[in-house]
């Protein structure tokens, strides 16, 4: 709360080179790239960072194998290269995972044809991952007995990557990088629109937490990264663009862990779309759907849930079919898909290109980011930096590498110190991996500070909220460095506690009150009440 309040006073007081509206993945990487290269950057979001689409993805960094069907090879190539760069840059976070794909008899393509496609996909991706293989029904039965093979023609296996710690955490780490390089960021600050005058943008902002009068933020360049609200924000500022968004809703359900192996099970759902069973910590995430919607705030419906449950129950051999009672939590997001403004370009909705598009208007120094994927985020950061520079904003360190995990020497020092503390091989009962691995992945170089906390007070290594992996020292650090304004910011986005634990279990967790005290001090009781008063 202290960090947010001090940033709010800076937003009111100083002019910026660039002001970014929207702290989803597109805004977060733009802020991290520009701040790292030395621009004066402000970032605001009317909700929490990654609080909209970017917390509801499938958590995959993938080369877009499905776009091969529509012949979008250039997009597949681009996404594969982006995926490879992410895997290289974040080896602890963005990791290769196998997609174990089963095809039903009578499907529009046979297993051999699709396995051949997977080989081409692998070649397009520079042979960066393990090789694909063809799967006969008997092999599927042997290797993954949970898959229903009565109606299976066979299958194939190939690799892509997934985000180990969840999309929202991944996005926040870019916001944190931006803050570390001097960006002034604040969540729960809404843009009411902006006006251009004498070479400056003046944006009217409202603090949605403490209230108070509207205030102005001034900047030379305005970047609209408002995700599904890009068009609405352009309407507020009077910007006309060649692109606009069309929206598609996708949901996921989180249930108990169904698959022992760390792999994604892939199927084609009844509507012909790829459908996944994805590991999420000690749970499984199932989805997704692709439904045209007009409202960026579209929510999950009974029909969506029934579609996902029905599809999964048909494709897995479970002792008892999954029902609504098995759902631990849900995710629902609206994909902003970039389309050219002229209507009737003739492509089927499901086959709309998922490429991002960036439009800049030089006369007004305004940039809009349309569409995109988490997978392509490094390119977006670089692209926005190049455009901002072309508008005459000085980037004193234009070649600075603003992304990636800390160097090997820092990593080696962290694991050395963790070994001295006997943490290196320690795996908590709640976890499937050593504590040190998890801390490094989540916090990078900041994890050294956590080891110091544990050295000073071993109680800091205790799990605070039972049933989760979160240690007392992590919560204290989150309070200092992660701009946690509401309890949901911590439970749903900085951590994935609210995804993998039922709300009632969280409510009764003995450590929750202490966590709130650490996060909010005197406001703890009010923040706790606010969280449980809001429907899940
Ligand atoms: C179901 C689903 C599955 C997906 N799976 C994948 C996947 O596996 N891999 C992948 O790479 N991509 C995936 N995607 C795509 C990806 O999640 C999105 O493209 C991406 O998150 C969009 O990010 P964004 O920053 O543009 O938008 P958002 O994350 O929506 O961010 C926009 C932000 O702008 C803020 N904002 C809006 N208006 C204002 C205002 N007036 N003032 C201040 N702030 C404002 C919002 O609060 C929001 O936080 C998936 C998407 C969905 C929905």
Q: What pLDDT, in 10s, does the model give residues 85-97? A: 999 999 999 999 9
Using CA atoms, how far apart are residues 486 and 82, in angstroms rounded to an integer? Answer: 33
Work out the mean pLDDT of the chain and round it to a whole number: 94
Spatial contact of 163 and 49, defined as CB atoms under 8 Å apart? no
**How much of the chain exceeds pLDDT 90, in percent?**
87
Beta partners for residue 279, in sequence order: 284
Task: Give me ligand 1 centre to Cα 26, in Å.
Answer: 8
The 3 state secondary structure assigned to 112-173 is HHHHHHHHHHHHHCCCCCCCCEEECHHHHHHHCCCECCCCEEEEEEEEEEEECCCHHHHHHH
In this prediction, residue 425 carries a pLDDT of: 61
Please give the distance of CA 5 from its chain centroid, rounded to a whole number: 25
Q: Give the atom of ligand 1 at the shortest distance from the alpha carbon of 333.
A: 53
Q: What is the pLDDT of residue 434?
A: 85
Is the distance from CB of 388 to CB of 395 less than 8 angstroms? yes
Taking only the tens place, the pLDDT of each residue in 107-164 is 999 999 999 999 999 999 999 999 999 999 999 999 999 999 999 999 999 999 999 9
- Residue 354 Cβ inside 6 Å of ligand 1? The answer reads no
Average pLDDT over residues 99-108: 95
The answer, yes or no, to whether any atom of ligand 1 lies below 6 A from the CB of 250, is yes
How much distance in Å is there from the Cα of 130 to the middle of ligand 1?
30
CB-based contact 250:333 (threshold 8 Å): yes
Q: Among candidates 71, 149, 142, 63, which has minimal Cα distance to 105?
A: 149
* pLDDT band (50, 70, 90) for residue 15: very high
Q: What is the pLDDT of residue 534?
A: 84
Confidence at residue 431, expressed as pLDDT on a 0 to 100 scale: 65
- Predicted confidence at residue 280, as pLDDT, reads 93
Q: How far is the CA of 186 from the centre of ligand 1 (A)?
A: 17
Q: Whose CA is nearest to atom 3 of ligand 1?
A: 57
The mean pLDDT value for 250-254 works out to 98
% of the chain residues with pLDDT over 70: 96
More confident of the two residues 81 and 348: 81
The pLDDT, as a whole number, for residue 469 is 80
Q: Which atom of ligand 1 is nearest to the CA of 369?
A: 26
Residue 233 CB less than 6 A away from ligand 1: yes
346: pLDDT confidence band, cut at 50, 70 and 90?
A: very low
The yes-or-no verdict on residue 381 having pLDDT over 70 is yes
The pLDDT, as a whole number, for residue 275 is 92
Average pLDDT score over residue span 405-425: 90
Best CA proximity match to 368, nearest among 378, 381, 358, 377:
358
> Does residue 111's CB lie within 6 angstroms of at least one atom of ligand 1?
no
For 289-332, write each residue's pLDDT tens digit.
999 999 999 999 999 999 999 999 999 999 999 999 999 999 99
Looking from the CA of residue 289, the nearest atom of ligand 1 is 1
Contact, 305 vs 327, CB < 8 A? yes
CA dihedral sign, ordered 313, 163, 80, 51? positive
Using a 6 Å cutoff on CB, does residue 47 contact ligand 1?
yes
Confidence band, pLDDT 50/70/90 cuts, at residue 174 = very high
Phi-psi region at 188: left, alpha or beta (left = phi > 0; alpha = psi -120 to 50): left
Contact (Cβ atoms closer than 8 angstroms) between residue 470 and residue 514: no
pLDDT of 342? 64
Mean per-residue pLDDT, 30-48: 98
Output the pLDDT for position 433: 80
Is the CB–ligand 1 distance for residue 25 below 6 Å?
yes
Ligand 1 center from residue 54 Cα (angstroms) = 4
> Which helix (H) or strand (E) covers residue 456, if one does?
helix 447-456
């Amino acid at each position: 709360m202290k960090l947010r309040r001090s940033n709010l006073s800076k937003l009111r007081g100083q002019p910026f080179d660039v002001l970014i509206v929207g702290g989803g993945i597109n805004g977060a990487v733009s802020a991290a790239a520009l701040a790292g290269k030395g621009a004066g950057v402000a970032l605001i979001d009317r909700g929490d960072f990654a609080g909209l689409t970017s917390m509801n993805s499938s958590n995959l960094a993938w080369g877009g194998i499905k776009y091969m069907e529509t012949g979008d090879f250039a997009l597949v190539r681009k996404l594969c290269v982006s995926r490879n760069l992410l895997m290289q840059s974040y080896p602890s976070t963005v990791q290769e995972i196998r997609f174990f794909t089963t095809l039903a008899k009578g499907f529009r393509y046979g297993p051999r044809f699709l396995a051949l496609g997977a080989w081409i996909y692998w070649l397009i991706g520079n042979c960066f991952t393990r090789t694909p293989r063809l799967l006969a029904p008997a092999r599927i039965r042997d290797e993954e007995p949970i898959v229903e093979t009565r109606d299976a023609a066979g299958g194939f296996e190939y690799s892509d990557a997934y985000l180990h710690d969840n999309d929202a955490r991944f996005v926040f780490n870019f916001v944190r990088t931006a803050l570390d390089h001097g960006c002034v960021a604040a969540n729960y600050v809404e843009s009411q629109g902006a006006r251009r005058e004498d070479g400056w943008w003046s944006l009217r902002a409202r603090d949605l937490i403490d209230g108070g009068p509207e205030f102005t933020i001034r900047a030379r360049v305005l970047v609209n990264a408002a995700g599904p609200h890009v068009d609405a924000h352009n309407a507020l500022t009077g910007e006309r663009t060649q692109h606009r968004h069309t929206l598609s809703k996708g949901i996921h359900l989180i249930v108990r862990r169904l698959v022992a192996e760390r792999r994604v099970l892939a199927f084609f759902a009844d509507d012909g779309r790829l459908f996944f069973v994805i590991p999420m910590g000690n749970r499984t995430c199932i989805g997704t759907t692709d439904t045209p919607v007009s409202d960026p705030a579209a929510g999950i419906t009974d029909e969506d849930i029934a579609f996902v449950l029905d599809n999964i129950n048909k494709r897995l051999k479970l002792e008892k079919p999954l029902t609504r009672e098995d759902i631990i939590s849900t995710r629902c997001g609206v994909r902003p898909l970039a389309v050219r403004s002229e209507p009737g370009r003739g492509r089927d909705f499901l086959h709309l290109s998922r490429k991002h598009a960036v439009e800049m208007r030089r006369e007004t120094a305004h940039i809009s980011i349309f569409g995109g994927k988490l997978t392509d985020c490094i390119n977006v950061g670089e692209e926005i930096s190049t455009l901002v520079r072309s508008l005459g904003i000085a980037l004193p360190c234009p070649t600075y590498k603003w992304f990636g995990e800390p160097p090997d020497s820092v990593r080696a020092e962290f694991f050395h110190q963790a070994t001295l503390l006997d943490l290196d091989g320690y795996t908590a009962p709640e976890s499937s991996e050593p504590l040190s691995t998890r801390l490094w992945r989540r916090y990078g170089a900041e994890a050294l500070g956590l080891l110091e906390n544990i050295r000073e007070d071993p109680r800091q290594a205790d799990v605070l909220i039972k049933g989760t992996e979160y240690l007392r020292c992590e919560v204290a650090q989150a309070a200092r460095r992660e701009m946690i304004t509401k309890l949901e910011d911590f439970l749903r986005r900085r951590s994935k506690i609210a995804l993998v634990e039922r709300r009632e279990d969280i409510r009764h967790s003995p450590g929750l009150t202490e966590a709130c005290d650490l996060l909010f001090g005197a406001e703890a009781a009010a923040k706790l009440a606010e969280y449980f008063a809001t429907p899940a």
